[in-house]
Structure 1
């Protein structure tokens, strides 16, 4: 059993390296550019909103409030979207006996998670150095919230991958369905700004809970009215079970 686990860890590690070279090239500059580009684009957005007088919904720094929403959201969104086509785009790797569909999903999950972790570190470090943000009050809470959103993204991505293999049109349909999430996940606002009925509707969005969790960890005095950690964990677990069990059933069906 230990030998099997060791082998699969090595396979996933090799796939991560391959995915890194494919996505960013063979130079370190390629990966650095992948980290710097989202950071600079977010800084540009912050500058534009600040110029037009956009005030943060909480705190005194619009850049900090926006970043605590947009980066956790982008992490989930990137995982959910990229993992959908990960297996179909790497179908040639499945000709190797040791490589399984789950290995492809996990390797891409690891790479995207590490990339966005680095993006978050770079961006918030920049804000702290320029005195536009304090150091997070509870770093461990921010870390847990980020990790939970990556699990949610992994579950959604794995589920999307199964549906996409059964029904290719799902890629276009999912893009339409998920687009409103950017406006429903609390990136520009806090839920307490809205009436109770609207807050109840927003609370069905698990991504919102992840962002609220992240903000509670960063700010010392941010008290979310919707945050339900158990709900986020439950949705992530359900999606992971659907995605990976669905993939296993699809694999068995394909072998037959």
Structure 2
């Protein structure tokens, strides 16, 4: 029991440290964390409005884009932030009570906290301003939120292990992540694509998470692609591989 309490205190202290490192002492840092995904949604809405495009589904462009962009932003935040979890805390890892996995858990808690606030504020603002109704199945949105964190943790853990040994991996990760904006159904309904295209994009687990969120928000949204077990299975496999690789490469690090 004392060990668990100690680990909890270690992770809590690391969360506070990560918060200061991420946002500094200025409130502008906290505000930017919220405004960044909102700005992306706003740009998409403006562009589609200028060309007089209707929402691919529903009556709100902002809501349709938000269901994909917020999910993708959260996944990318995990992937990039956890990748530097070991290197950014190199000095702290010399203390015996702090383990490598503690740094990953601290960043995970911080990201989940940040995006919980972003989700509540952003969707709350859309509902309050009349751009979106209340979600039809909020439990599905919560499940998709948790699955996104799980998948992001798995990918981020593997990135962290690779990045310690290959610094150039950060550039490779950017190249891999860039097409996700087009492959994750940000501005289209994947079920309406030709079968050949569906065969390709359905391998993207983030796409399933986006579809999961949309089936939770829209009462009559139908997805031929969605398989809720697929991103969970990918997340489980990646997490096991990442944690195992971290354990076996721990002595070779730094």
CA deviation after TM superposition for structure 1 residue 30, in Å: 3.6
More helix by share: 1
**Separation of aligned partners in 2, 1:147 and 1:173:** 26
The Cα shift of 1:39 comes to: 2.3
Unaligned runs of 5+ in 1: none
Q: What is the CA–CA distance in structure 1 between the aligned matches of 2:49 and 2:3, rounded to whole Å?
A: 54
User: How far apart are residue 62 of structure 1 and its match?
Assistant: 0.8
TM-score, normalization: structure 2?
0.94
Q: Distance in 1 between matches of 2:120 and 2:235?
A: 24
Match for residue 17 of structure 2?
A: 18
Separation of aligned partners in 2, 1:39 and 1:197:
33
**1:52 Cα shift?**
2.6
RMSD across aligned positions (CA): 1.6
Tell me, yes or no, if the aligned pair for 1:64 and 1:132 is still in contact at 8 Å.
Answer: yes
Residue 29 of structure 1 deviates from its aligned partner by 5.3
CA deviation after TM superposition for structure 1 residue 44, in Å: 4.0
TM-score normalised by structure 1 residue count: 0.94
Cα deviation digits, residues 150-198 of structure 1 (max 9, x gap): 1100100000111111222221112112211110011111111211121
Deviation at 1:97, TM superposition (A): 1.6
Runs of 4+ in 1 over 6 A off after TM superposition: none
Output the CA distance in 1 between the equivalents of 2:252 and 2:197. Answer: 43
Give the stretch that moved more between structures: 228-237 or 160-169. 160-169
What are the residue-to-residue correspondences of 1:28-67 with 2, within 5 Å?
28=27, 30-67=29-66
How far, CA to CA, are the matches of 2:176 and 2:36 in structure 1? 27
Given that residues 208 and 231 in structure 2 are in contact (C-alpha distance below 8 angstroms), is that contact kept between their aligned partners in structure 1?
yes
Tell me the equivalent position of 1:176: 175
How far apart are the structure 2 equivalents of 1:254 and 1:115? 30
The 5 Å alignment of 1:108-147 reads: 108-147=107-146
Q: Distance in 2 between matches of 1:126 and 1:165?
A: 40
Aligned residues: 254
